[in-house]
Amino acid sequence: MYCSSRPALLTVDHLSMRFGGLFAVNDLGFTAYGSEITAIIGPNGAGKTTLFNCLTGFYKPSVGRIALTAPGAPRFLLERMDGYRIARDARVARTFQNIRLFPGMSVLENLLVGQHTPLMRASRYSLAGLLGLRGYRLQERRSLDTARYWLDRTGLTAQADQPAGSLPYGSQRRLEIARAMCTEPALLCLDEPAAGLNPRESLDLNQLILDIRQEQGIGILLIEHDMSVVMTISDHVIVLDHGSLIADDDPAGVRCDPAVIRAYLGTAEDEDLPTEVAADLNRTAAGGRS
């Protein structure tokens, strides 16, 4: 069980999500802490993305409670809220496994849509905006500055006026993160941000995620398949298998957890592993425990 000195940000209790007879997430409970990177790992079909969809309101969980307590904000029970409210009021931002940008709109516009809530508020149901009142213009200026900041941070300034759909894959991934950050989230959920990136881009991305945690002081949930990434940047690792929690520890602890190894590689008994692999496995497990 993982312990942290930091305040709890997200508390998930007895979360279950059922599709027909299948439990995609089964009685899951964990806590993610503020200013930490919490990695969620597990084999394909373990329920990671389903968990994200429950957290961000795209699915209504069958059972369970998801509580978010950000500093300086009231406590939100996410399982009861609509998706857009979770993003707007509870300030949970996310990216998607298969990138979801607004491909026909420019990079800069994507970042402005990310700041819809404050802009909309300042435009007062568009009336102030239509008349070009001062309050709206100031907010627009501020939003553009925020956008400029994130363009700079993600190295997309030069492409700001291009359609988002025309960017190369790696840039699209970064843009999606920048857009999510423009909502000024309390919790950022990244769904496989490194998928499809080359090693160099992947390294840059790790740095970006670390910087975000460092500078913005927000909690980050990260679904990731690349173990080296997980081990390098995360503070806390949650392992799912078949929708259930099988480990909840720091990276070093998870690395040598026998349940995790079994989930990833199968057991030596039922899978007829080559002897040297099995030996290797046992050695790792034993080494970890000592």
Partner 1 sequence: MAAPSRSPSSSTSSPTPPGSALETVRQAPHGRILLDALAAGVLAALLALPILGFRLIEVTGGLALDYRFRLVGLAALGVFAGRILVLEARLALAAWRPAAARPETRRTFLGAYASRQSFGWILALLALILPWLPFADRNLIDKATLLLIYVMLGWGLNVVVGLAGLLDLGYVAFYAVGAYSYALLSQNFGLSFWVCLPLAGLLAAVFGMLLGFPVLRLRGDYLAIVTLGFGEIVRVILLNWQDVTGGPNGVSGIQRPSFFGHPFTATTPTGTTFHDLFGLPFSPDHRIIFLYYLSLTLALATNLVTLRIRRLPIGRAWEALREDEIACRSLGIDPTRTKLSAFATGAMFAGFAGSFFATRQGFISPESFSFLESAIILAIVVLGGLGSQIGIVLSAILLVGLPEWFRDLQQYRMLAFGGAMVLIMLWRPRGLMASRDPTVRLAAVPTSPGTGG
Partner 2 sequence: MEYFTQQLINGISLGAIYALIAIGYTMVYGIIGMINFAHGEIYMIGAFISLIGFLLLGTFGITYIPLALIIVLVLAMLFTSIYGWAIERVAYRPLRGSVKLAPLISAIGMSIVLQNYVQISQGARVKPLPPLIQGGLTLFSDNGGYPVRLSYLQILIVVVTITLMAAFTYVIARTPLGRAQRATEQDMTMARLSGVNVDRIISLTFVMGAALAAVAGLMVTLYYGVIDFYIGFIAGIKAFTAAVLGGIGSLPGAMLGGLLIGLIEAFWSGYFPIGYKDVATFSILVLVLIFRPTGLLGRPEVEKV
Residue 116 sits in the site that holds partner 1 (CB under 8 A)? yes
Contact 261, 282 (CB under 8 A): no
Could you give the CA distance from residue 132 to residue 94 in angstroms, rounded to a whole number?
Answer: 32
Residue 244, amino acid: S
Instruction: Give the distance, in angstroms, between the CA of residue 199 and the centroid of all CA atoms in the same chain.
Output: 20
Among 58, 89, 227, 256, which residue interacts with partner 2 (rule: CB under 8 A)?
A: 58
Stretch that binds partner 1, among 19-27, 82-90, 227-235, 262-270 (CB under 8 A): 82-90
Minimum distance, C-beta of residue 100 to partner 1, in the bound complex (Å): 4
Distance in Å from the first CA to the final CA of the chain:
18
Contact 189, 91 (CB under 8 A): no
Residue 179, classed as helix, strand or coil, is helix
Residue 96 sits in the site that holds partner 2 (CB under 8 A)? yes
3-state secondary structure 78-145: HHHCCHHHHHHCCCEEECCCCCCCCCCCEHHHHHHHHCHHHHHHHHCCCHHHHHCCHHHHHHHHHHHH
Residue 169 sits in the site that holds partner 1 (CB under 8 A)? no
Looking at the Cβ atoms of 49 and 139, the one nearer to partner 2 is: 49
The listed partner (partner 1, partner 2, none) that binds 156, CB under 5 to 8 Å by sort, is none
Among 103, 199, 217, 287, which residue interacts with partner 1 (rule: CB under 8 A)?
A: 103
In the range 8-47, which residues lie near partner 2 by CB under 8 A? 19
Stretch that binds partner 1, among 7-15, 142-150, 200-208, 222-230 (CB under 8 A): 142-150
The CA distances from residue 46 to 140, 238, 248, in Å, are 42, 12, 15
Give the number of residues in contact with partner 1, rule: CB under 8 A.
50
Contact 194, 224 (CB under 8 A): yes
Residue 126 sits in the site that holds partner 1 (CB under 8 A)? yes
Looking at the Cβ atoms of 14 and 141, the one nearer to partner 1 is: 141
Stretch that binds partner 1, among 40-48, 132-140, 197-205, 245-253 (CB under 8 A): 132-140
Residue 277, classed as helix, strand or coil, is helix
Question: Where are the alpha helices (H) located in the chain, listed in sequence order?
Answer: 48-55, 83-88, 107-114, 116-123, 127-131, 134-153, 169-182, 199-216, 227-233, 251-255, 258-265, 268-271, 275-289
Residue 95 sits in the site that holds partner 2 (CB under 8 A)? no
Which one-letter DSSP state was computed for residue 249? E
Residue 133 sits in the site that holds partner 1 (CB under 8 A)? no
Contact 260, 248 (CB under 8 A): no
Minimum distance, C-beta of residue 256 to partner 2, in the bound complex (Å): 34
Residue 102 sits in the site that holds partner 2 (CB under 8 A)? no
Minimum distance, C-beta of residue 135 to partner 2, in the bound complex (Å): 35
Q: Which residues bind partner 1 (CB under 8 A)?
A: 56-58, 82-85, 87-89, 93-94, 96, 100-106, 108-109, 112-117, 119-120, 123, 126, 129-130, 134, 137-138, 141-142, 144-145, 148, 151, 157, 160-161, 163, 179-180, 183
Q: Which residues bind partner 2 (CB under 8 A)?
A: 19, 49, 53, 58, 96
